[in-house]
Amino acid sequence: MTGPDHATSTTAAEDEILADVADGVLVITINRPDQRNAMTKSAAEQLAVALDRLDSDPELTVGVLAGRGGTFCAGMDLKRFQLGERPVVDGRGFGGLVQRPPAKPLIAAVEGWALGGGFEMVLAADLVVAGASAKFGLPEVKRGLVARAGGIFRAPRVLPQAVALELLLTGEPMTAASAERHGLVNRVVDDGAAVDAALELATAIAKNAPLAVRASKALAYHSRTWTDDEAFERQTAYTDPVFASDDAREGPAAFAERRAPRWSGR
């Protein structure tokens, strides 16, 4: 599966966020290339709408978030910030994403720079694919600000503490190779190939039972602070509905009959 050549566009070209469907995957693209995809209030609101669509549409299984024009996102639009605009959606935070990520898997496809809030959107995603020249940074301290869109607490969760603190305290960026080495990035690919690689990863996820995928994501995040005893007790709220589903019967039947499963999401 590839990107735009086999996708159906669902938004106008002039919109700040584009949403395209490719084989059950929603490809969401920040469309402000002349401004390095810096986030605005309008773009954040449109992105929130796209994420709501991802979660509500049963035909969609995975989301891919990318930036148009060789840059993922340079953070918030500082010119708009100086005029009092904040690229935040109530209840969803920066970019309409960081405070409430979607329940379905979201893959960040990063080309070029992911800075400030742009990097914090990457940290809010579940998986990350990056072009070889991609760079990730939290330069807020250089501007008299702090990374309060999730960077301060999410970076130390996914990176070694010393590495995360270096990003936070120096404001200097990290390369894609370093991000992969420290476990932030799943795959580093040739420049320009991040979206296609993310779509390949999304396809692998989309082949699986949607209820099981969604429950696995939710439980993996919610259980981070639980003890093992708590996890075994609390996981039943997530796992019992999966085991009682039609898909739980379809999976073994398809395996026994040596055919591809036909998931219903029920």
pLDDT in tens, 192-218: 999 999 999 999 999 999 999 999 999
Hey, what are 246's tokens? 């039609």
* 26 and 110, same domain (yes or no): yes
Of 27 and 80, the one with more pLDDT: 27
* 216 and 93, same domain (yes or no): no
Domain of residue 131 covers 4-206
| Rounded mean pLDDT, 12-41 | 90
* 199 and 216, same domain (yes or no): no
Q: Which residues contact 32 (CB under 8 A, 6 or more apart)?
A: 16, 38, 40, 43, 68
Does a structural domain hold residue 227? yes
**CA dist list (Å): 221 to 32, 101, 124, 141:** 31, 11, 11, 28
Hey, what are 96's tokens? 């309409």
Name which of 14, 42, 9 is nearest 28 in CA terms: 9
Helical H segments across the chain, by residue range? 41-56, 78-82, 117-124, 151-158, 161-170, 176-181, 194-206, 210-222, 228-234, 236-243, 246-256
| Rounded mean pLDDT, 151-179 | 96
Q: Which residues contact 58 (CB under 8 A, 6 or more apart)?
A: 210, 265
The answer to whether residue 5 scores a pLDDT higher than 60 is no
Does a structural domain hold residue 160? yes
d(CA 259, CA 245): 19
**pTM (2 d.p.):** 0.91
The answer to whether residue 7 scores a pLDDT higher than 80 is no
| Rounded mean pLDDT, 48-52 | 97
On the CB side of 191, CA atoms within 13 Å amount to 10
- pLDDT over 70, % of the chain: 95
Verify whether residue 230 is a known catalytic residue: no
Does a structural domain hold residue 263? no
* 142 and 223, same domain (yes or no): no
Does a structural domain hold residue 261? no
Contact 124, 154 (CB under 8 A): yes
Sign of the Cα pseudo-torsion (214, 216, 219, 222, in order): negative
**CA dist list (Å): 10 to 26, 57, 155:** 10, 14, 33
Verify whether residue 140 is a known catalytic residue: yes
Active-site residue identified among 140, 180, 200, 250 = 140
Hey, what are 51's tokens? 């994420």
Please count the structural domains in the chain.
Answer: 2
Active-site residue identified among 16, 59, 111, 120 = 120
| Rounded mean pLDDT, 39-61 | 95
CATH no. for residue 157? 3.90.226.10
Catalogue the long-range contacts made by 259-263 (C-beta closer than 8 Å, 24 or more residues apart).
261/209, 263/208, 263/209, 263/210
Give residue 232's identity as a one-letter amino acid code: F
The answer to whether residue 227 scores a pLDDT higher than 80 is yes
**DSSP assignment letter at 73:** B
| pLDDT tens digits, 85-129 | 789 999 999 999 999 999 999 999 999 999 999 999 999 999 999
Does a structural domain hold residue 49? yes
